[in-house]
Chain A
């Protein structure tokens, strides 16, 4: 995916999204939008146990871990295999019902909110690890397999899947959202690590993006359909299998923490460190800090750690602590991985809203300093955490959803942040979570990022010609926003928990 300029859409559209979601919620009652005939058609495909209109089940499938309001679907289905997914999709297509795929519900952008109601496909029963090829370093998984479950099943093989977005997310969900995370600097994001996908399109047809059963390490042949679907966030189809590239477990790993006198000098800011200390019962210096992890051979590591220590000290870093054994390393990193929950714990009862800005590395210190100043000046709680290696940082805005004045201040702050991120020259992407990437779903922002206008049109064509929009409303919002802006900007969005 090209990094291009991303643009904010107008506020009135945002307000419209928000209003739309709220009014839909009050109007819709249990399963009212789905005729009984359709429900029995669903039941004939996946059994009585596989169809639920229960309120609690629908609510559980209408929200994720973000601050966004729950928008429950009209019915939740639990297919057990790709044939069932295909048959169910055909039924939805015939009756023009929106489809919302659901993996683990650990996203941060309201990606599973059923803004216009519809049918949720909960894929948790498809949880097999298939086709492990140890010598070729690849494995195929179904959507119910989470990243920790995969690594646990691989523990005897010397291989692992290193993309770690923080949560124990569904791997197919991670493919759909193009997840990144703390290991991206060394191992890449989902884009670099998904080799093939099996996707059920809205009309029920089953597509293998790199060919059925194929798992080439590289290919120079034709369209890269796999990477069209990676990051498509459920708008182009339901992912039912992902073939992933595995890596060797590093021979040795060393983690280090170093604190710095200022945010500019370091990375996890002091508010975040304080939150982490309190949450995880740790006692790091409450100062902006950098967490580092080195993977490699024993000798290679010594050199790396030594070099890193010198550089940190040269830049005012102090208290360089490092750990070699698994338990201490895990404790060191737990502070960082639990950043989301630690932030929430700062103000119990509040929700957290993650901003996600990515700038060229050289611009990072400047924008961090300005962000910090803005937060303090406006009395906002926003611990900062991120993956420096990518020039990517998150402000975890902890906000009381019942306080409209505070929500408004956060809203303005985030707009300014997006504009500042955008204001930097060169390829930048400001990814504000919100109604999830492509268009509005009833949240704070419609992040519109347009890359090469042609791609949007192609995606739109794919949707309307093949069939039914599985997620109506998203792409069209997008197209509208596009009309306003110059071509040459980029689309998509991902929120981040850090």
Chain B
């Protein structure tokens, strides 16, 4: 086994920011807005770094797809303990249309190129909420997948994964190489410390383009319109049951 783990990290609008829709309804406002690493990606990085600290794997490689700013997110992963980074440069129109299908093609290609033993991704990104990239990547590679992982243990050439599912917890054992997606309770990501942030500046980030990997980034999806959810209207208090029934009839509910 190569002992190499690929971790995908996505740069998204910070979870604490109030999102605003652009006046032309083409998307959300991103200019000048605080961005940070997707919280589930932080958990994925933490899990990989923990494995390395326990000497279960040898190298953690952080991957991000996007324009120049994606490098900030890779640096954060490096400050958390990743060894090196790969920045897949996608910008302009290609970046606007970049979705799970394109990213999973990229991850699959890199996994083969880097001879990865494991790919760990966040279960979903907080902007798209797609929850598709991990699953698509596994399918493209024909690798087993352990999604919604709340506990992961490496056992030789297999991985035991405890998954959070609707009915409770499901434990599975899958072969490596495999794709895992991190759920909220997998771990608590560490805060980057100043010495580690400084060390991270010296770690390598390799730049590649999708074309270099022989990939086509065309999307079959087109965003038509983005709207805010409707404003919540004030409720109305009624005095008696008769009034309630009358109101329900009035609004066509009865």
Question: Using a CB–CB distance below 8 Å, which chain A residues touch chain B?
Answer: 149, 152-153, 155-160, 248-251, 326-327, 330
Chain A residues with Cβ under 8 A from B37's Cβ?
Answer: 156
- Taken together as a complex, chains A and B put the C-alpha atoms of A152 and B191 apart, in Å, by 9
Given known pairs A149-B16, A153-B14, A153-B16, the reply for A159 and B194 (CB within 8 Å) is: yes
Indicate whether B36 reaches chain A with its CB closer than 8 angstroms. yes
**CB distance B16 to A250 under 8 Å?**
no
- Please tell me which one of the listed residues A153, A157, A159, A326 contacts residue B190 in the complex, with CB atoms under 8 A apart: A326
Q: In the assembled complex, how far is the CB of residue A49 from the closest CB belonging to chain B, in whole angstroms?
A: 11
Known interface pairs A156-B36, A158-B196; 12 further A-B residue pairs with C-beta atoms within 8 A, sorted by A's residue number = A149-B16, A153-B14, A155-B192, A156-B76, A158-B191, A158-B192, A158-B193, A159-B194, A249-B192, A249-B193, A326-B188, A326-B190
Residue ID in chain B nearest A158 by CB atoms? B194
**CB distance A250 to B193 under 8 Å?**
yes
Determine the main DSSP class of A at the interface with B. mixed
Per-residue 0/1 for B173-212: is the Cβ within 8 Å of any A Cβ (1 yes, 0 no)? Answer: 0000000000000011011111111000000000000000
- Taken together as a complex, chains A and B put the C-alpha atoms of A160 and B197 apart, in Å, by 14
20 contacts between A and B (CB under 8 A): A149-B16, A153-B14, A155-B36, A155-B191, A155-B192, A156-B36, A156-B37, A156-B76, A156-B192, A157-B192, A157-B197, A158-B79, A158-B192, A158-B193, A158-B197, A160-B191, A249-B193, A326-B190, A327-B188, A330-B188
Chain A residues with Cβ under 8 A from B14's Cβ?
Answer: 153
Task: Count contacts between A and B, CB distance < 8 Å.
Answer: 38
Question: Using a CB–CB distance below 8 Å, which chain B residues touch chain A?
Answer: 14, 16, 34, 36-37, 76, 79, 187-188, 190-197
Q: In the assembled complex, how far is the CB of residue B248 from the closest CB belonging to chain A, in whole angstroms?
A: 25
Chain A residues with Cβ under 8 A from B188's Cβ?
Answer: 326-327, 330
**CB distance A251 to B195 under 8 Å?**
yes
Q: In the assembled complex, how far is the CB of residue B107 from the closest CB belonging to chain A, in whole angstroms?
A: 23
- Taken together as a complex, chains A and B put the C-alpha atoms of A248 and B79 apart, in Å, by 14
- Taken together as a complex, chains A and B put the C-alpha atoms of A156 and B79 apart, in Å, by 9
**CB distance B36 to A249 under 8 Å?**
no
- Taken together as a complex, chains A and B put the C-alpha atoms of A14 and B156 apart, in Å, by 71
**CB distance A327 to B192 under 8 Å?**
no
Chain A residues with Cβ under 8 A from B196's Cβ?
Answer: 158
Residue ID in chain B nearest A156 by CB atoms? B76
- Taken together as a complex, chains A and B put the C-alpha atoms of A152 and B195 apart, in Å, by 19
Interface centre among B79, B191, B192, B196 (most CB of A within 10 A): B191
